[in-house]
Amino acid sequence: MFGVIGRWYQRKFSDPDSVMLLILLIITSVLLLVWGSLLMPVIVAAVIAYLLDWPVVQMCKLGVSRRYAASLVLVLFVGISVLTLVGLVPSVSKQSINLMQEIPQIWASAQKWVETLPEKYPAYVQTDLIEQMLLTVKLRATDLGEEVLSASFASIGSVAALLIYLVLVPLMVFFMLKDRDQFLFSLSKLLPKERRLIKQVGTEMNAQIANYIRGKVIEIIIVGGVSFAVFAFMELRYAILLGVLVGFSVLIPFIGAAVVTIPVAAVALFQWGVSPEFWYLMVAYGIIQVLDGNLLVPLLFSEAVSLHPLYIIIAVLFFGGLWGFWGVFFAIPLATLVKAVINAWSSPVTELTSE
């Protein structure tokens, strides 16, 4: 047993570059686990700067100085973000409040409909089972309401964190864009000389992460916009709110689409009942999901990510449990990082020629 482990260790870690990669991963993981919440504004700023670096580089190629290019790109980014928030947040907030006020009516309508099932299908549905199910759902809804209320009071203290994101993150993004080469040079001096595998992992990740995040933003805009247009055309209530939910549901592959179907179907059922309009909407919503999964995703991510769906689901559950929203958002890039590390360690030493 120990001989097998020893041979495996000798094969994987006899190369100093493998040891350096392992040490770097351990240090980075410890820093994120211990100080991840404190470093999150810096990480968010680094990600935004990474995404905005491409237009800055293109402007520099046209002869614009990096300082002015970084300033212009950042101003445009902040302006578009502010306009989007000003246009969406008031409508989404208003519709969210209205929906919360109507939830008791929606629940009462759903309860009446469920209670009619034993009469319609006596051979398949039992009254005792329906009553037990409704009681369980009611208790769970009560617990969820208490959790939401507690979270609302707890979020009052997050105003300072919001100010940090609104003020400090744009400043950090500007300096990261303007002085990118200086920061990269300083970072390179901190890395060990035995960094062949580190560069291999970095190169593989650099070819995929930017394309993935840009593609995911485009997917959110397209899916959310098309969903809102369909909901508004069919005069579904809370069209903006539901469109935003459907758009952001693509952050969680497979799971998000299934979860967001519940509020869409609930609102449609409350508004129209089991009618042709309800089925028309559900068919249209299903077509959007099918086109997203079978047309849009392959177009946007055909060369960005090549992970099995099972690995994606595991990554979403694992990293989402660790870091919440940001863990879910970066689950696939992090899974790609894990894959790149495994590929680097699995490569024979003879293939990893020195620089």
**For 255-313, what is each residue's pLDDT tens digit?**
788 888 988 988 888 888 878 898 999 999 999 998 888 788 777 765 555 666 677 77
DSSP character at residue 351: G
Q: What pLDDT does residue 352 have?
A: 44
Residue 126 near residue 118 (C-beta atoms within 8 A): yes
Q: What pLDDT does residue 105 have?
A: 78
Report, as an integer, the average pLDDT of 198-216: 73
* pLDDT higher at 23 or 146: 23
- Per residue in 212-258, pLDDT tens? 777 888 889 999 999 999 999 999 988 998 999 999 888 777 778 88
Structure confidence at residue 86 as a pLDDT band (50, 70, 90) = confident
What's CA 140's distance to the chain center, in Å?
A: 26
Report, as an integer, the average pLDDT of 319-325: 74
Report, as an integer, the average pLDDT of 320-338: 75
Model confidence, pTM: 0.68
d(CA 16, CA 295) in angstroms, rounded, equals 44
- Please provide the average confidence, as pLDDT, over all residues in the chain: 76
d(CA 340, CA 332) in angstroms, rounded, equals 12
d(CA 83, CA 94) in angstroms, rounded, equals 17
Enumerate the domain spans of the chain.
Answer: 1-90+103-193, 195-355
User: Given a cut of 50, is residue 129 above it in pLDDT?
Assistant: yes
* pLDDT higher at 233 or 133: 233
Q: What pLDDT does residue 298 have?
A: 73
User: Given a cut of 80, is residue 14 above it in pLDDT?
Assistant: no
Q: What pLDDT does residue 151 have?
A: 47
Coil, strand or helix: which one is 207?
Answer: coil
- Per residue in 31-82, pLDDT tens? 777 776 777 788 888 888 888 888 898 898 888 888 899 999 999 988 988 8
* pLDDT higher at 141 or 214: 214
Q: What pLDDT does residue 49 have?
A: 87
Structure confidence at residue 351 as a pLDDT band (50, 70, 90) = very low
Per the structure block, which two tokens stand in for 240?
């903006």
Q: What pLDDT does residue 152 have?
A: 45
